[in-house]
Amino acid sequence: MSTSSAFNDEKGGSSSVGEPEYGHDPASGGIFSSDYKRHDDLKEMLDSNKDSLKLEAMKRIVAMIARGKNASDLFPAVVKNVACKNIEVKKLVYVYLVRYAEEQQDLALLSISTFQRGLKDPNQLIRASALRVLSSIRVTIIVPIMMLAIKEAASDMSPYVRKTAAHAIPKLYSLDPEQKDQLIEVIEKLLADKTTLVAGSVVMAFEEVCPERIDLIHKNYRKLCNLLIDVEEWGQVVIINMLTRYARTQFLNPNINESLLEEGGGGEKTFYASDEDEDEDEEKEKKAEAVTMAKRKPYVMDPDHRLLLRNTKPLLQSRNAAVVMAVAQLYFHLAPKAEIGVIAKALVRLLRSHSEVQYVVLQNVATMTIKRRGMFEPYLKSFYIRSTDPTQIKILKLEVLTNLANETNISTILREFQTYIKSMDKDFVAATIQAIGRCATNIGEVRDTCLNGLVQLLSNRDELVVAESVVVIKKLLQMQPEKHSDIIKHMAKLTDNIQVPMARASILWLIGEYCEHVPKIAPDVLRKMAKSFTNEEDIVKLQIINLAAKLYLTNSKQTKLLTQYVLNLAKYDQNYDIRDRARFIRQLIVPTEKSGALSKYAKKLFLALKPAPVLESPFKDRDHFQLGSLSHLLNAKAGGYQELPDWPEAAPDPSVRNVEVFALLERVTTLTSVPEWTKCSSREKRKEKKVEKPFYSDSEGESGPTESADSESDSGSGSESGSGSEDSRSGSESDESKEASESEEEEEEEEEDLKKKKKKKNEEKQLKKPVQESESEQSSEEEVRKPERKSKQNKSESESESDEDEESESESSESESEDSEDSEAELKKKKKVAPPKPAFKAAKKENKKEKKEMSLLDLDDFEPAPSPQVTPVNTFLSNSLVTDLEGLSLSDAALMPATIAPSSALKSYELLHRITGEGLSVEYCFSRQPFSPDANMVAVQMHFTNNSTSDTKSLHMEDVKLQSGMRVKEFPEIELLPAGETATAVMGIDFCDSTQAANFQLCTHTRKFFVSIQPPVGELMRPFFMTENEFKKEQGQLMGMNEITEKLTLDVKCRNEHTIVQKVTTAANLSRVPCGSDKECRFAGRTVTSSSLVLVTVATKDEGAAQLTVNCEKMVIGTMLVKDILLALTQ
Amino acid sequence: MINSLFLINHSGDIFLEKHWKSVISRSVCDYFFEAKEKAIEPENVPPVLQTPHHYLISIYRDKIFFLSAIQTEVPPLFVIEFLHRVGDTFLDYFGECSETVIKDNVVIVYELLEEMLDNGFPLATESNVLKEMIKPPNILRSVVNTLTGGSHVGDTLPTGQLSNVPWRRAGVKYTNNEAYFDVIEEIDAILDKSGTTVFAEIQGVIEACVRLTGMPDLTLSFMNPRLLDDVSFHPCVRFKRWESERVLSFIPPDGNFTLMTYQVSSQNLVAIPVYVKQNISFLEAGSCGRLDITIGPKQTMGKTVEGLMVTVHMPKAVLSVNLTATQGTHTYDLATKTLVWDIGKLNPQKLPNLRGSLSMQTGVPKPEENPSLNIDLKIQQLAISGLKVSRLDMYGEKYKPFKGVKYLTKAGKFQVRT
């Protein structure tokens, strides 16, 4: 260290004196000799009015920074120029600011306002650069400003600005980790972004801020897979690495059957060989269970798993080595064994690249070759070593060659090794000898050949070579000593010449161990060694003592005195290890009165049969690190490394990824639209193809209509959602799904029809969405389309209208009365008119409201066909379908708004009392309907009653205060509530699976009331339908901490099944799970926001005793739910 | 990701540093210097080093170490690839990537680095995008700039980053529209003492120089695409078209770029253009050795072999050489113990020969191994694999471009063991 610091001093010193020129500009030449003066001059230049002078000064300052000189005292002078008009001066000032702001926090604040102004600039690039610099200034005080800027930029129109926002997230996080929650929110938002520009950056932010939140990926998984090929190279690397980890948590091991075979076959690799076997028995059992399960059920790859593999494969052809490596590791960790082979060729190609790349690739190849040797065997020759390779590369190649060696190719490999042994690079030669040793141990057939070869090396002139050979020979001989006494004799002779301690020690050990094979030579060797004992290295001395002891035990007649002598010498050695050893051995082998018992066993102790050493690759078992990672390379966990999880035993619910399919389709079509060159760009078409036919079928001819449709959806996304936003039912998500379904249908539809379709679909959405959701369970995109169409047909059947009719109808949304004879159509019309104009001024207001609410149900009522249609297709009903059915029955029953929800069971809560509200009273209840604009929100139905004598106007909400993560979709403003009338509105709240209250102000034209809505825990979930088996399986996974059990005594009144069901479903929004036993009632649901399973079991026993069990991943919810249900059941 | 970058010259001076996050003291490089000391040869410095608080990932090119300091887990190749991209960018901007040139253009270099990484994550690495933001220096501009106080920073920020063709800048205009493609093949081979091929393969690359107006969409097709075994593409190439039709379809970047690299399938026998007869021996007594090398043409497809050169790394014990060549010149560098024989054109009638004696250090045992010969050669107008471009079509633009294809065969890592 001292030398290095001196080095630095020297550098520093030279800088203050020398520092001749700055750049190539003559003006900046070394006119000024001292630092002080020069800086003065710079300050002057910076203060001048001329841009050219400023620029000159900044250039010199940047040059100083580049050389690592301190320029911090110029800060005040520089920061003044932050608002300079000249773009280059500005840029350089930014460079300076980013470098020194951290050191001069107070002064740096002066520049903040400039950036804040920049954030509002109409030019996207200026906004982006302002955000970039602002977030790069590491000043803690401005954290709130940064947070605000990031949030704003995350919803910027320009994808470039959003990208910058994604970059800013980890910056802010490293500055203030407290902001994590808020940042995660932004990440979540950006993850949903559909542009390739943003994808890479946001995943990078995700990896740095919240890599553990794998749940955020679910909905974006398919989108990311499909976008991947168009993301820039660096983003690809990050995304692929992240997806590898994701896939490991979500899919089943594709090689599970294979590992079963391996175990069962019990070949060479039996128990400890495959990494599937963990040491703990328990785990093994579990595994075995899983394996047997797999046996019963043949493995079927999740289509999403397949999607990932398929979409990453072309990237093996990337010019970027990092991308190729990322794909390779993905395949290695995720692909079925049969498919891994494709990566070998690409990796071998990388060996042509720079030596640093080779170094990293070879390390990874070395690890891979241990697990999957066959993969690289065809490329054996590519790993041959050239004399010009750097040593580290040579040694790695050697490692790979050794790993690849088997019975068939060993002769070629050995021939190759033979040439290497002659190399001038001695480190490499030593490594080669070790490699030969390893080949010899691994492949029995060549052991003798290798041994003979190595023995020949013993006469090599280079001592290093000989020493290394001795060490390796020793290991080999240990395997079958009896055959090789002549080799041992040969080696004994070597003790005269070889000086390398390790080699001497090895020979001595060997002679001692096999002294019976060389009874004449051994004592002689000991004699020689005793002579030179004092001059030997410690490790040799220890072996001399060993040798002496062994000889004493076998041949005490000849060696007794020699042993005594050696032990005496050792007794006074400087090294205490040697003294200890001598003392210990003397006690052990020389029988005295005290040590009688032990010395009997001395022979057993010393001459026990030693197991042969296993020569192992240093790369063995390195694959528990994710390949291609820094940790793998170092074979040590690097900071921030994310463990590659083990495969799950049962696949988690694949439907979590479903939602986004539609959004993805939309984005794909969006991309196709914009530029004119797209027409001939099959890069774009590729995506399109993916949409239509996932299996790469060509469809270039069909691109026409898509494009126009897209251009509309792209540019018009605002206007569309505008029209939709009036409609309280349509949220952004449903927009997406709608567009998605369009793109699916585009083959049949005429281009011009698309617009009309869109309108129509606005109405169908209500119906379709649930259908789609349940369909998408089937994952394969193609399949999704079919039922989709089916449902359409179905609908048209039920309406008894032809396709054209539909179109014409929707075309004239205003002049619809043509069809009005039909009562159904009439209903439809109302529904159509009502939503877009919620602010209809009339006394009918209330009435209309009702209709609007009703329309939710009307649709279901209208076209009931799809749901039963879909049911048989799916193996189980989706939750939304269940609620759908619920809604159906209700809407059939009555058209009163009060009955929308199962009101008898629903509890109303007071939001605003009549007195505090000055005549206005508000009640709310949780309607348990899916909140259509946003599936993650809980629908809250509010009843407004105007008890006063005057009208209340413009009833709306304001100033929503929420805990982080929570969101609210406000109810539409009620313009007029006449005296004595009532009105109903629905709002959505995303409680983020917590019982935190949502606080907001309820405003009328005259007053504002502070109110808050707090949900009972039972309303934070929605019913989820599952079969008994599924229930049991899921329950089995939610044990331990996730299970809460409570004993209770049931009230006399509610001892029958019916009441229990009623009580529980009242307390919590769950659906019943069918159950064989009548002693048990089971319920299942999922939390609204995170879709965590909630499983409830009520087991009844005699005398009203019962046991309540709640299984839920979210422990807080579980605990609270237990309390609530307990209360409900015991009351 | 990448926290800081240090540029270090051959003698161990840090001549440029750049930090993207908090400043890391340059003393972190001490660990690197330690490893460098140990490694003797700069190529042998491990690219990845672990220090108590940082990880150091470095590359060595053009006698400069690009050393990056990293704090957390990151794929090492990611960093290595990026550092090379930085080097490529310097090469692209300044024509070379040397210490002097970087020092002379330190401001541009700094601005480039600023644009290439944001918070340690690559931002703009495409040369076309960078060139729009920061204009490369040229003599005329630098004269004008000094007179007018103008700058090399573009006034308008590039659109390339925002478009869907991030590798091509918008609004390209040329009066002469031309597209040139160089098909360059390198033979990698190891020949053993007797001249039999131990290992040989052909690696090819297609370098393009495209100067076309507007947004041309090009399609390049081959006569015999089946020859190509393993390929890697510039991001502009549409992989789907390649998979289905075996044509290269792409919207090219503006200027020079590497369109694709390929490997010729290993089933094909590789033609080795020259043979080498050599005899190098070190005598036990008398501390001297003999050397005799003759090179002759083998499979040259009727073309002349040019730029023939033989490089031999002699054992340390060889003090000097006393050789005569029938053709070309030879030099022996005492410091590196490298013998270079520059032959030039190979004349099949009169084969070049180099022979003579080597004088050895006395008292040192004779070297175990004979040094291997590294051979360099060039054959113009020939792709040794037989690959041929059949046609180049352009869509999307009206004008007729001037097109040209050139072939070249070179020796890659061509080694003869002796």
HEC per residue, A4-16: HHHHHHHHHHHHH
pLDDT at residue number A979:
80
Q: Report pLDDT for A453.
A: 82
Residue A696 to residue B59, Cβ atoms within 8 A: no
Contact at CB, B50 and A636, closer than 8 angstroms: yes
Q: Does A16 have pLDDT greater than 70?
A: no
Q: Closest partner residue to B47 among A4, A123, A360, by Cβ?
A: A360
pLDDT at residue A596 greater than cutoff 70: no
Greatest alpha-carbon pair distance for chain A in Å reads 125
Average pLDDT of the segment spanning A850-865:
39
- E strand or H helix at A504, and its extent? helix A501-513
Check if B4-162 and B274-380 are the same fold: no
Is the Cβ of B27 closer than 8 Å to some Cβ of chain A? Answer: yes
- Given a contact cutoff of 8 angstroms between Cβ atoms, the answer to whether A380 and A417 are in contact is no
A683/B121 CB distance under 8 A: no
Three-state SS for chain B is CEEEEEEEECCCCEEEEEECCCCCCHHHHHHHHHHHHHHCCHHHCCCEEECCCCEEEEEEECCEEEEEEECCCCCHHHHHHHHHHHHHHHHHHHCCCCHHHHHHCHHHHHHHHHHHEECCEECCCCHHHHHHHECCCCHHHHHHHHHHCCCCECCCCCCCCCCCCCCCCCCCCCCCCEEEEEEEEEEEEEECCCCCEEEEEEEEEEEEEEECCCCCEEEEEECCHHHEEEEEECCCECHHHHHHHCEEEECCCCEEEEEEEEEECCCCCCCCCEEEEEEEEECCCCCEEEEEEEEEECCCCCCCCEEEEEEEECCCCEEEEEEEECCCEEEEECCCCEEEEEEECCCCCCCCEEEEEEEECCCCCCCCCCCCEEEEEEEECCCCCCCCEEEEEEECCCCCCEEEEEEEEEEEEEEECC
Q: What architecture (CATH level 2) is domain B178-270+384-417?
A: Sandwich (2.60)
Closest by CA position to A739, among listed A806, A691, A808: A691
Looking at the partner chain, which of A630, A680, A686 has a beta carbon nearest the beta carbon of B74? A630
B73, A630: Cβ pair inside 8 Å?
Answer: yes
In chain B, where the domains are located: 4-162, 178-270+384-417, 274-380
Rg (CA), chain B: 25
Answer yes or no: is pLDDT of A830 > 50.
no
- What's the confidence (pLDDT) of residue A293? 52
- Which residues in A lie closer than 8 A to residue B117 (C-beta atoms)? none
**pLDDT tens track for A938-960:** 888 888 888 887 888 888 888 77
**Pairwise pLDDT comparison (B409 vs A497), residue with the higher score:** B409
**Least confident residue range of A264-268, A285-289, B398-402:** A264-268
Q: What is the pLDDT of residues A236-286, one digit of tens each?
A: 999 999 999 888 888 888 887 665 544 433 334 333 334 443 444 455 455
Q: Note whether A517 and A528 are within 8 A (CB).
A: no
Pairing mode, strands A1105-1112 and B2-9: unpaired
Please tell me the least confidently modeled range out of A23-37, A330-344, A474-488, B195-209. A23-37
Q: Which residues of A touch B12 (CB under 8 A)?
A: 7
Task: Please tell me if residue B166 touches chain A, with a CB cutoff of 8 Å.
Answer: yes
Closest Cα of chain A to B266: distance in Å? 10
Q: Which of the residue ranges A656-670, A734-748, A1116-1130, B249-263 has the most confident prediction, judged by mean pLDDT? A: B249-263
Task: Note whether B164 contacts A7, CB cutoff 8 Å.
Answer: no
Mean pLDDT, chain A, whole residue set: 72
Residue type, B385: S
- Secondary structure string (H, E, C) spanning A529-574: HHHHHHHCCHHHHHHHHHHHHHHHHHCHHHHHHHHHHHHHHHHCCC
Concatenated DSSP letters for A186-253?
Answer: HHHHHHT---HHHHHHHHHHHHHH-TT-GGGTGGGHHHHHHHGGGS-HHHHHHHHHHHHHHHHHHS--
pLDDT over 80 (residue A679): no
pLDDT exceeds 50 at position A705: no
- What mean pLDDT comes out for the span A156-160? 85
Nearest Cα residue in chain B from A631: B73
Residue A156's alpha-carbon distances to A152, A374, B288, in angstroms, are 6, 51, 77
Given CB atoms, is B46 within the 8 Å cutoff of chain A? Answer: yes
- Give CA–CA dist A906/A1069, Å, rounded: 10
Question: Which DSSP symbol is given to A357?
Answer: H
Report B:356-375 residues touching A (Cβ under 8 A): 365, 367-369, 371-372, 374
The answer for B 304-323 residues in CB contact with A (under 8 A) is 313, 315-316
What is the 8-class DSSP label of residue A688?
H
Q: Does B52 touch chain A (CB under 8 A)?
A: no
Nearest C-alpha in B relative to A158: B162
Rounded Cα distance between B11 and B259, Å, is: 36
pLDDT for residue B226: 82
B249 at interface of A, judged by CB pairs closer than 8 A: yes
Q: What is the pLDDT of residues B300-327, one digit of tens each?
A: 778 888 889 999 988 888 888 888 989 8
Q: Given the structure tokens 């553990």, which residue do they identify?
A: A212
Say which residues have a Cβ less than 8 Å from residue A115's Cβ, sequence separation at least 6.
A130, A131, A133, A134
Partner-chain contact A634 B16, CB within 8 Å: no
Q: Select the residue from B78, B163, B395 to test the A interface by mutation, using most A Cβ atoms within 10 A.
A: B78
Give contacts of B128 with chain A, Cβ < 8 Å. Answer: none
By mean pLDDT, which of A8-17, A171-180, A998-1007, B38-47 is the weakest? A8-17
Tell me if the domain spanning B4-162 has CATH number 3.30.450.60.
yes
The pLDDT-based confidence of B145 (bands split at 50, 70, 90) is low
CB contact under 8 A, B232 and A318: yes
List Cβ neighbours of A723 (8 Å cut-off, separation of 6 or more). A762, A836
Would you place residue A681 in the very low, low, confident or very high pLDDT band (cuts 50, 70, 90)? very low
Q: Do B198 and A322 touch (CB under 8 A)?
A: no
CA B110 to CA A66: how far, in whole Å?
Answer: 7
Confidence of residue B56 (pLDDT cuts 50, 70, 90): very high
A836, with CB counted inside 10 A (0-12, 13-18, 19+), is middle
pTM given for the model: 0.65
Q: Is A743 exposed, middle or buried (0-12, 13-18, 19+ CB in 10 A)?
A: buried
User: Are B232 and B261 within 8 A, CB to CB?
Assistant: yes
Rounded mean pLDDT of A741-748?
44
Kindly give the interhelix angle for A112-119 and A124-136, rounded to the nearest 10 degrees: 150
The residues spanned by each domain of chain A are 40-252, 908-1015, 1019-1130
pLDDT at A292: 52
Check residue B208 and give its pLDDT.
92
Mutate to test the interface with A, among B81, B269, B410 (most CBs of A within 10 A): B81
Q: Measure CA A886 to chain center.
A: 37
Q: Do B118 and A132 touch (CB under 8 A)?
A: yes
- CATH tag, A908-1015: 2.60.40.1150
**Amino acid identity, position A868:** P
Distances, alpha carbon B227 to alpha carbons A998, B54, B223, B268, in Å: 68, 46, 10, 8
Among A393-402, A448-457, A659-668, A1091-1100, the range scoring the smallest mean pLDDT is A659-668
- Name which of A48-62, A563-577, A792-806, A1076-1090 the model is least confident about: A792-806
User: Nearest residue of B to residue A687 by CA position?
Assistant: B240
Quick check: A330 and A244 in contact, CB under 8 A?
yes
Cβ-defined contact of B72 to A326 (cutoff 8 Å): no
Q: Which of A129, A136, A676 sits opposite B119 (nearest CB)?
A: A136
Other Cβ atoms less than 10 A from the Cβ of A37: the count is 11
Q: Which residue of A has its CA nearest to B49?
A: A634
Q: Residue B75 and residue A158: Cβ atoms within 8 Å?
A: no
Structure token digits, residue A953: 């106007």
Pick the CATH number of B274-380 from 2.60.40.1170, 1.10.3720.10, 3.30.70.1400, 3.40.50.12280: 2.60.40.1170
| Nearest C-alpha neighbor of A494 from the set A526, A470, A517 | A470
A324 to chain B: which residues are within 8 Å by CB?
Answer: 232
Pairing of strands B353-360, B178-191: unpaired
Chain-centroid distance, C-alpha A541: 55
What is the distance, to the nearest Å, from the Cα of residue A455 to the centroid of all Cα atoms in its chain?
53
Distance CA B262, CA B250 (A): 17
Q: Which CATH class is domain A1019-1130?
A: alpha beta
Give B 331-350 residues with CB within 8 A of chain A.
none
A1074 or A240, greater pLDDT = A240
Which of A392, A641, A675 lies at the smallest CB-CB distance from B46? A392
Contact B238 A677 (CB under 8 A): no
Residue by residue, DSSP assigns A119-171 as HT-SSHHHHHHHHHHHHHS--GGGHHHHHHHHHHHHT-S-HHHHHHHHHHHHH
The type of residue at A1075 is C
Residues of chain A with C-beta less than 8 angstroms from the C-beta of B143: none
Q: Which residue of B has its CA nearest to A679?
A: B396
- For residue A678, pLDDT over 60 is answered with no
Is the pLDDT assigned to residue A196 strictly greater than 90? no
Give the span between the Cα atoms of A174 and A181, in whole angstroms.
Answer: 13
Burial of residue A888 (CB within 10 Å: 0-12, 13-18, 19+) is middle
Q: For the domain made up of A40-252, give the CATH fold.
A: Leucine-rich Repeat Variant (1.25.10)
User: pLDDT value at position A13?
Assistant: 38
Distance CA A152, CA A137 (A): 18
Percent of chain A exceeding pLDDT 70 equals 70
Q: What is the Cα–Cα distance from A735 to A1004, expressed in whole angstroms?
A: 31
Judged by a CB distance cut-off of 8 A, whether residue B284 touches chain A is no
The answer to whether the CB atoms of B240 and A696 lie below 8 A apart is: yes
Q: What is the pLDDT of residues A316-341, one digit of tens each?
A: 988 899 999 999 999 998 888 888 88
Would you call B245 an interface residue with chain A, using a CB distance cutoff of 8 Å?
Answer: no
Q: Over 60: is that where the pLDDT of A136 sits?
A: yes
Mean pLDDT, residues A151-156: 88
Residue A21 — φ and ψ, nearest 5°? -135, 155
Give Cα separations from A784 to A588, A698, A1087, B193, B198 (angstroms): 80, 20, 25, 65, 55
| pLDDT-based confidence at residue A360 (cuts at 50, 70, 90) | very high
Q: Which residue of A157, A319, A627, A684 to mutate against B (max B Cβ within 10 Å)?
A: A319
- Averaged over A156-179, what is the pLDDT? 88
Residue of A nearest to B248 (CA): A682
| Contact with chain A for residue B162, Cβ under 8 A | yes
Task: Give the CA-trace dihedral at A32, A35, A41, A47, to 10 degrees.
Answer: 160
Q: Is residue B184 over pLDDT 90?
A: yes
| Nearest CB to B77; choose among A92, A321, A392 | A321
A196–chain B nearest CA distance, Å: 9
- Report whether A1096 contacts A1125 (CB < 8 A): yes
Task: Give the SS3 label for residue A915.
Answer: coil
Write out chain B residues lying below 8 Å of A394, CB-based: none
Question: For A66, which of B71, B110, B263 is closest by C-beta distance?
Answer: B110
* pLDDT reported for residue A663: 43
Given pLDDT bands bounded at 50, 70 and 90, which one contains residue A905? low
Distance CA A406, CA A418 (A): 17
| Residues from chain A contacting residue B198 (CB–CB below 8 Å) | 381, 384, 416
C-alpha–C-alpha distance, residues A456 and A199, integer Å: 61
Cβ contacts of A135 on chain B, cutoff 8 Å: 119
Question: Tens of pLDDT along B116-136?
Answer: 888 888 888 888 778 877 777
Residue for token digits 């029953």? A893
The per-residue pLDDT for B406 is: 92
Q: What is the DSSP string of A1068-1130?
A: S--EEE--S-TTEEEEEEEETTT--EEEEEEEE-GGGEEEEEEEESSHHHHHHHHHHHHHHHH
- The per-residue pLDDT of chain B, averaged, comes to 85
CB contact under 8 Å between A461 and B365, yes or no, is yes
